[in-house]
Each structure stands twice: as C-alpha cells, then as structure tokens.
Amino acid sequence: MNQLLHERTKLGLPTDTRAMAQMHASVYFPFMKEPNALGVKVVPKRAPFCVNCSHLLHDVPSGSGRFLGHPPDINTNYIPW
C-alpha cells in the first residue's frame, strides 16, 4: 500500500481516505498452502488482515477478509471483506 501511495503522489493523484477506498488488498501467505478441490496443497493460503491492519486499512477492501479482534477467531471476529 505504501509504495502505491508513493506512486499516486508522483502522478499527482489524491492519497487521502478517498484513495484508500479505491484500492483493494488480496494478501496471501506465500509459503503456506491450502488444498485445492482435489485435496492437493497448491493454492497460496489467504492472509486476512489482523486487527491492527484492519484498523489502519479500514477503507481498503480485503479479498482475504479481516479480523476485528484479538485473538483472531474465524467464528467470532472475522468478516470476509
């Protein structure tokens, strides 16, 4: 996100809250794998925003979801965007 904001500054584009809403993050753990439909672990594992990132990147949609509390719990404090 930081590099993208620097690039927007170079282009004279806004870097305020409106700019954050125009971005989209799809974060993955590169070395952890999830099984595909056949049970073969080849798909990079999604990395939802932690509670800190979720707060800092509030206006940025997340393709991997986000946790709203600590400790992260998929059943109680996770939302899919």
Task: Name the residue ranges covered by the structural domains of the chain.
Answer: 24-79
Position 1 pLDDT exceeds 80: no
Tell me the H-state helices in 1-81. 2-10, 17-22, 51-56
C-alpha pair distances (Å), 50 with each of 13, 41, 70, 72, 81 = 28, 24, 8, 7, 12
pTM over 0.85: no
Whole-angstrom Cα Rg for the chain: 15
pLDDT, tens digit, 9 for 90 and up, residues 17-45: 888 888 889 888 888 888 877 878 788 88
pLDDT band at 79; cut points 50, 70, 90:
very high
Position 9 pLDDT exceeds 80: yes
Among all chains, which residue has been given the structure tokens 């049970």? 39
